Structure formats: C-alpha cells, structure tokens
Amino acid sequence: MKDYQSVADTVAEEIAAGALRPGDRLPPQREFARRHGIAGSTATRVYRELARRGLTVGEVGRGTFVRAVSAGPAPGASALTEPADGRIDLELNYPVVPEQSALLADGLGELLRPDALGAVLRPVGASGPEAVQESSADLLAAGHWRPDPARILFASGGRQALNAVVSALVPPGARLGVEELTYPVVKAVAARLGITLVPLAMDGAGLIPEAVEEAHAAAPLHAVYVQPRLHNPLSLSMPAQRLERLADVLLRLGIPAVEDAVWSFLRDELPPLAAYAPERTVLIDSLSKRVAPGLNLGFVVAPEALAGEIVAALRSGGWVPARFALEAAHRWQRAGTVRRLVEAKQRDAAVRQETAAAHLAGFAVQSDPRSYHCWWRLPRPWRADTFVAAAARHGVGVAPAAGFTVGAHHAPNAVRLGLGSPRPEALSRALATLARLARSAPEDLVTD
C-alpha cells in the first residue's frame, strides 16, 4: 500500500523534471486518488505535504497549482518557466540595516565578562527583573502611551508570546475573531489549539467594530486578534476614532483583544489599542523586526486580571525567555541602541517604499510610506496562484493572498510583497521583474 510521502515524492520528481510546470493545475483530489490507487484521505495528505514543501499553492474554489520547481525546466519550456540565476525572497520579511551588527556588538561587551556571564546565564521567570521591565516599558512606548512596567511579561519570541496568549484566552473549540485578512501564523496557532477562527470584516480604516458585535451575537467570541498599526498584509493603521469605537465594543461586550504590535515600531507616533482599552487588551511585541531576526525575545503587556493565566501558559509551553536575551535587550535600550536601529529602519523602509512605488507605478498597490510590505491587487488576466508560480520561476518569491485569508472565504486576487529582506539592488531587480510579468498576460509568455 502506498504511503502519502512516497506519492508526494513521485509528484515532486515530476515537478523537478519539468513534467509538471509552474502554473499547471493538479487534478481534484478524488481523481488524483483514483489515478494513483490510493484512498481519498491519503490524497489529502499528499496535497498537504506538497504545499508544506513549497511546491504547490491552492485556493478554495480554484484548485491546486504547481508553484515552483527544484531543477531547471524541461527542454522547450516556455518563457513562463524561464529560470533565474538566484532566488530573491519577498515572502519572508526581516529587515536588516548596514549598521546593525556593529551597534549590537557594542552593547554586549559587559555581558561577556566572566564575572557577569554566569549571572546572565541563570534561569529567569516570565516577569523578568524589574529593571528590565522598566527599560522595556520605554522600548514599547508609543504615542502618548507607556505601559505599566509591572504589567510586562517576557517570552522566548513573538510567536511564542502569541501562542501563550491565545492558548490562555481561548479554550479548545472556542471562537477567536480575526481580521478577514490576517497574519498566517495565527491560522497555524488556531489549528494546533483546535480553535475556530471567525473572519471579521474590514474597510479602509481597518477592522470594523460592528463586525465584532455581529460575530459575537451569532456565537460568543472568546477573544479578538487584531493588528491596529501597520496591519500585515494591508499596511493599514487604524485612526484614533476607529480605535475608540473598537475599544468601546470590547469593553461593553467584555471581550479581550490580542493586539499584535510587532510592526508598530515603524509608526511609533501612533498609540496602540491598549491605550484605549487597557483592561481588555493584551499587547504582544518582539525584537525580531525591530532589532534583529535571530534575537528571540517577545513582550506581553497583560492586564492584571489576565496575567496569571498567561504566565501559566508561558511556563507550561516552555516559552519563558532566556535571561541573556533579556539582559542584552536591557543594555541596548539603556544605551540608545534600539532607538538608533528603529530610526535607521524607519528611514530604510521609506526608501524601499519609494523603490516599490517607482517600479509598480500604475498598478493597484496599497501600502504605507513607512511600511516594510505592500499589498498588490494584480491586473487581469493574472490569477494570484499563476502569478506566484511565474514569479518563482523568474527567481522571485512572493506571498499569495490565500495565505492570509481566513476560512473558506474567497481569497482576493492579490499578493503581498515583503520589502525588508533583500539588499536594495536585489529588491529593485525583483520589483522590475514582477512589473514586467504583470504587464504581460500569461498567454503572452507561452511560445510554440
């Protein structure tokens, strides 16, 4: 009897050999199962495995399409599958500025002394030292808001903070409201915890507060996950009036909010939702975007009534921080290193947005001048799945809208471009390539 891994390997070999090309549609799972002599449940696992390997992309109602290949195209391949020399990744989004390493190295010297190293390698709890809570309050301050240092908890990363907070607030089988386009990791967390995600309508100002009321009236929401500042993928930031309305709804209905502030350092003049509904908002943040990709330290600003459950979740999940990361962050904040990195990345993001605007002029691109990502509604006749596949064959990785869509809702015909990871010259080259693709219809790229 065939196992799903061996069948997936067979399909992967066909993709690598060029028998299946980017943009090709795989058959419906029932037909696939019949062709390969496997059960329908095995076919489902095969399709999941192919998606996990990054070889296919699927959208509800459209099917599953080949996304990329691991070898060169077969002889006679069309321009649609023309390979590029090296892949430029606009899917992941980890900004690094040239001065980053030197700035961070300067702050670590005192931690590496033998008399200090032993102390900073000892275990630490989720609350951390009081001095670190105090400096972290300054780090997280935004607009007219500064969190109470006593309310700050620490995690071993932003994703770990998210896992702990969601698991503490939403029991298995319960409902978590999320924006109709949301951070993909939230979808994975919900699936692991057995939580039902409820998509909430948005408009040009972000999450619509009345959508929370309507969803809660249909069946209780245990919490709402929201990105009020520089929403990923749309780059929207909620105006003050919208935040006030959302805070009123949360307070009136007694629903806690999980506020994701990971990208908010780029718009730190804007106060968070936590400033408007502090007793109902759990704010999470991290240093991975603000300081360095490999620095695993997350922050949780929790109301007193919810802190106990969150601390228990951090402990049980093994998500408490490393003391070394806490102490390093404390010294970088105290020395002004974090502020200098934030200002450098704010300037860098603005320059990259200018590059994107120049290459994608005339297209339907939505963003913020200080964001590290943008949302591109593709021109007809391109479909997001086919465009992603074509871009991959031209050496550029982009994220399809389906990855951000919640539930069975139809995914917009759009892609998200992460601008932060490539070097500036590589980013310009990638955007030029994508613009050329978008100006040509898929059939224009196919030759006899």
- Report the range out of 34-48, 121-135, 215-229 with the highest average pLDDT: 215-229
Cα-only R_g, the chain: 23
d(CA 354, CA 352): 5
- 188 vs 48: CA distance, rounded Å: 13
Would you say 110 and 328 are in contact if contact means Cβ atoms under 8 Å apart? no
Lowest mean pLDDT among 30-34, 128-132, 147-151: 30-34
d(CA 158, CA 203): 27
Please give the biggest Cα pair distance in the chain: 72
pLDDT in tens, 383-437: 999 999 999 989 999 999 999 999 776 889 999 999 999 999 999 999 999 999 9
Quote the CA–CA distance of 71 and 16 in Å, as a whole number. 5
Exposed/middle/buried for residue 344 (C-beta within 10 Å: 0-12, 13-18, 19+): middle
pLDDT per position as a tens digit, 35-83: 888 988 899 889 888 887 778 877 555 678 887 443 333 333 333 333 3
Please check the confidence at residue 353 and state whether its pLDDT lies above 80: yes
Provide the residue count of the chain: 448
**pLDDT for the residue 75:** 35
Is the pLDDT at 18 greater than 80? The verdict is no
Element at 11 (helix H, strand E) = helix 4-17
How sure is the predictor about 1, in pLDDT bands with cuts at 50, 70 and 90?
A: low
pLDDT the model gives residue 78 = 36
DSSP letter at 142 equals B
The whole-model pTM stands at: 0.80
Q: Decide if pLDDT at 17 tops 90.
A: no
Summary mean pLDDT of the chain: 89
> Residue range 358-365: average pLDDT?
98
Beta bridge partners of 27: none
Q: Name the one residue in this structure whose structure tokens are 């593709």.
A: 378
pLDDT interval class at 106 (50, 70, 90): confident
Q: Which of 181, 105, 43 is nearest to 341 (CA)?
A: 105
Question: What's the pLDDT score for residue 80?
Answer: 38
- pLDDT for the residue 235: 97
The residue written with tokens 């399909």 in the block is 11
CA atoms of 185 and 161, how far apart (whole Å)? 12
Identify any residues that bridge with 418 across adjacent strands, giving them in sequence order.
373
Query: What is the rounded CA–CA span in Å between residue 411 and residue 377?
Result: 11
Region 303-318: mean pLDDT is 95
The predicted model gives 348-357 an average pLDDT of: 98
